[in-house]
Amino acid sequence: MSILFDKERETFFLETEHSCYQFRITRHGTLQHLYYGRPVGETCMDYLTRFADRGFSGNPYECRHDRTFSLDLLPQEYSSFGMGDHRVPALKTVLENGSRTAELRYLSHEILPGKLCPEGLPHVRQGHSACETLVVRLFDEVSGLTVKLFYSIFPAEDVIVRSAQIINGSGQKIVLEKAASASIDFPCGQWDLIHFAGRHCMERQPERAALGHHVLSVGSSRGMSSHHNNPFVILCDREVTEDSGDCYGFMLMWSGNHRAEAELDQAGGVRLVMGIHEDGFSWLLEPGESFRTPELILTYAAGGLNALSHNCHRLLRENVCPPEFRHSRRKVLLNNWEATYFDFDTDKILSIAAQAKDLGVDLFVLDDGWFGQRSDDKAGLGDWFVNEKKLPGGLARLGSALNGMGLDFGLWIEPEMVNEDSDLYRAHPDWALRDPGRAPMVARDQLVLDMGRTEVREYLFGCIDRLLKEAPICYLKWDFNRSVANLFSSALPAERQGETATRFMLGTYALLFRLREAHPGVMIEGCAGGGGRFDAGMLFFCPQIWCSDNTDAVQRLRIQKGTSYGYPVFTMGSHVSAVPNHQTGRSVPLGTRAVVALSGTFGYELDPGKLTGAEKAAVRDQIAVFHKYSELIRSGRYYRLDRTEAEEGFTAWAFVSEDRCEALVSVVDTNVEGNPRFHHILLKGLVPDAVYRLEGSDRRFSGAALMYGGYTLPQMFGDYPAAMLHFAADHNAAYDE
Ligand code: DGJ
């Protein structure tokens, strides 16, 4: 049993294999958080709480002569605004009379087998995992508001999935101004917050900040999870390294506006609140209506950031990504975007495809420009009908020609967008989000469709379903190329306009649910101008996401490494592109470009006709390497090996098989110096007393030697040199001297 309720102490014990989470019902009916961290046996952690009378921290009425009980000081389970907890709240409500107070007291609870799945939202799937769910009901007597807190415990995965449902059980209207997925209070400690910031072409760069007496808030109000701040944050002990220390991961299953807020309070406690961003958000609850928040994945690791990443990677692979693609080898694809941009016709595409096939590519992806009047990025979005001038005979003819060559066929779309210069916009201008009487904010010459509207989704489903039926398409690249502004829906009344951004995201999810159900075999790769929507919400539908529009291998090292803190390598779309690189102008050797792309879904984004004979031979070898190691890369544990601070200009990482018998190490030197030092790496995750053989040599090493003594690489010369080393356990061998 992973959930226990101790009646005598009125305390909940939630246990995973390597973590424990406790909270209790206080004598005044509030929920007090007690502990989250390493398992502590059966000890109830209530002894940690000391009560004191602190000035300016008030007391609930029923205990006003006991000045030591204050909601302002006690760690809470789900903080609400108005009753004297002056830290960041999880819940903000407005009643009809204007009151903004919510006072939540325990009402009841139940412990259910399995995982409850929130309707219409991406969620953690139970899959083959053991799981129990605790539902706690809280009630506000004055307003009639009920809040249900959900806790699904995945013991083997060391994961707790939290979410909340706010139900209006009153006879009046209640407006939600904020409804976070969860809040959690840590009573003491010295904490850092790590978050993943960036920009277009430079996504998910880790930033680590010490928490002080302020609210550290990171999020996105761009209508998308964004290039700028990812909905994944880590709270960790100040001493945490890649390989040691307490750390907690918080990953929101939501692809729209989001925010994480961390606050150090007057008593030395830290609160983290995470959920949908409250800027521009409101949700009207008529009597009887309810609102369900997205799920928040919580995971704890005592062994540092690598261990925390392993928890996230395993959960996303086994319990989030679509099961159809969980264990399948990814197809090596070639995408024509950087090869042709908008300038292509059937002959050019088939010529590129034939050469790609000859190199060993499995899947040809036709990118932007095949539809409507799309000769550049100013027109055509929304008109999802093939441009017969470019592609006579349409997608069916192209698809069958590709299939005839032995290639699968993939197609680019950007369903949530529309150009003003499109038949769709001319017919339905009200389908785009825009404020009445105001010129819209444009970006890349496009507007955003109101995905909350049923007729918009019907149109898009009809178009995509038709495309998938008329041509043999097995892959869609689902793009999204601007931030959302002008959050006004012509289909909603004034009092519901604050719901537009949330309904937009729910609408996109509804379309994705329907398409996945109608076409379960079609792989959808997520994309948003590269990695602008790289989050657990999209991964629920899309087993891989284009990691960045920046295909420069040297910069990709940083982008993919930053992404790896939360997300597994096999979800990161990564291609070998041409040099000089189109984003940076840099030239990186073909071999190094492949080493970097191999730590991703792997594919090419170039014109193979421009490769030399030697380069073509190298590409064939790279594809062979992919086939050889794809299972290890997909299912192995990923370790960041380099000590970035000390070894600037050198990046190393490894995949270690689950049985720890195999390790694939990749290294790239991005800063070769004169009289170069030898780079030295310490392997991780091996069996100390197993013997490993280095492929291509006679050397054998104990796991302990490779982990504690390490391995010294030969000097590396040239522009951005790279190497891959494969170690395999050799059970019959003796140690080398
Ligand atoms: C942005 C994507 O990230 C690119 O790969 C490409 O598909 C373009 N959009 C096409 O417009």
DSSP letters for 275-300:
ES--TT--EEE-TT-EEEPPPEEEEE
Lining residues, ligand 1, CB within 6 Å: 337, 367-368, 412, 479, 481, 527, 529-530, 546, 549
* pLDDT value of residue 733: 57
One-letter amino acid at 666 equals S
- In ligand 1, the atom with minimum distance to the C-alpha of 477 is 7
Reported as a single tens digit per residue, the pLDDT across 189-230 is 899 999 999 999 999 999 999 999 999 999 999 999 999 999
Which residues have C-beta within 8 Å of that of residue 597, sequence separation ≥ 6?
553, 556, 574, 575, 576, 603
* pLDDT value of residue 736: 45
* pLDDT value of residue 64: 76
pLDDT tier at 649, thresholds 50, 70, 90: confident
CB burial readout 562-596, b (16+ within 10 A) else e: bbbbbbbbbbbbbbbbbbebbbbeeebbbbbbbbb
pLDDT tier at 44, thresholds 50, 70, 90: very high
Sign of CA dihedral 92, 98, 99, 104: negative
Residue 486 near residue 440, CB atoms below 8 Å: yes
Substitution candidate for ligand 1 out of 224, 335, 342, 367 with most atoms within 8 A of CB: 367
- Quote the strand ranges of 642-721, DSSP E: 650-656, 662-669, 680-681, 691-694, 700-702, 711-712
Pairing of strands 544-546, 523-526: parallel
Q: How far is CA 616 from CA 483, 590, 591, 610, in A?
A: 39, 10, 12, 10
pLDDT tier at 97, thresholds 50, 70, 90: very high
Which residues have C-beta within 8 Å of that of residue 12, sequence separation ≥ 6?
3, 4, 5, 6, 22, 23, 24, 109, 134, 136
pLDDT tier at 1, thresholds 50, 70, 90: confident
Token digits of residue 306: 């690598």
Strand partners, 691: 702
CA of 527 to the centre of ligand 1 (A): 8
Which residues have C-beta within 8 Å of that of residue 203, sequence separation ≥ 6?
196, 227, 230, 530, 531, 532, 534, 547, 548, 559, 562, 563
Cα separation, 310 vs 14, in Å, equals 21
CA of 13 to the centre of ligand 1 (A): 47
Residue nearest to ligand 1 atom 11, measured at CA: 368
615 part of the active site: yes
CA of 608 to the centre of ligand 1 (A): 19
Token digits of residue 85: 């907890």
535 part of the active site: yes
* pLDDT value of residue 730: 87
- In ligand 1, the atom with minimum distance to the C-alpha of 367 is 7
With 80 as the cut, is the pLDDT of residue 645 above it?
A: no
Cα separation, 172 vs 538, in Å, equals 36
pLDDT tier at 328, thresholds 50, 70, 90: confident
- The percent of residues in the chain predicted with pLDDT above 90, rounded, is 95
Substitution candidate for ligand 1 out of 203, 377, 481, 525 with most atoms within 8 A of CB: 481
Catalytic residue among 140, 367, 535, 549: 535
Query: Which residue in 159, 165, 156, 105 sits closest to 135, CA to CA?
Result: 165
Mean pLDDT of 1-9: 95
Residue nearest to ligand 1 atom 10, measured at CA: 368
Separation of CA 91 from chain center:
24
pLDDT tier at 646, thresholds 50, 70, 90: low
Residue 98 phi, psi dihedral angles, 5° rounding = 95, -5
Residue 274 near residue 138, CB atoms below 8 Å: no
Reported as a single tens digit per residue, the pLDDT across 378-435 is 999 999 999 999 999 999 999 999 999 999 999 999 999 999 999 999 999 999 999 9
Reported as a single tens digit per residue, the pLDDT across 552-577 is 999 999 999 999 999 999 999 999 99
With 70 as the cut, is the pLDDT of residue 463 above it?
A: yes
Cα separation, 34 vs 189, in Å, equals 14
Substitution candidate for ligand 1 out of 337, 475, 545 with most atoms within 8 A of CB: 337
- In ligand 1, the atom with minimum distance to the C-alpha of 546 is 3
Catalytic residue among 66, 237, 289, 615: 615
CB burial readout 616-639, b (16+ within 10 A) else e: eebbeebbebbeebbebbbbbbbb
Determine the length of the chain.
Answer: 737
* pLDDT value of residue 599: 96
Reported as a single tens digit per residue, the pLDDT across 474-523 is 999 999 999 999 999 999 999 999 999 999 999 999 999 999 999 999 99
| pTM across the whole model | 0.97
Reported as a single tens digit per residue, the pLDDT across 271-323 is 999 999 999 999 999 999 999 999 999 999 999 999 999 999 999 999 999 99
Query: Is the model more confident about 358 or about 731?
Result: 358
* pLDDT value of residue 735: 46
Strand partners, 259: 219, 275
CA of 74 to the centre of ligand 1 (A): 49
Residue 271 near residue 292, CB atoms below 8 Å: no
* pLDDT value of residue 737: 38
Q: Pseudo-torsion of CA 175, 177, 179, 184, nearest 10°?
A: -130
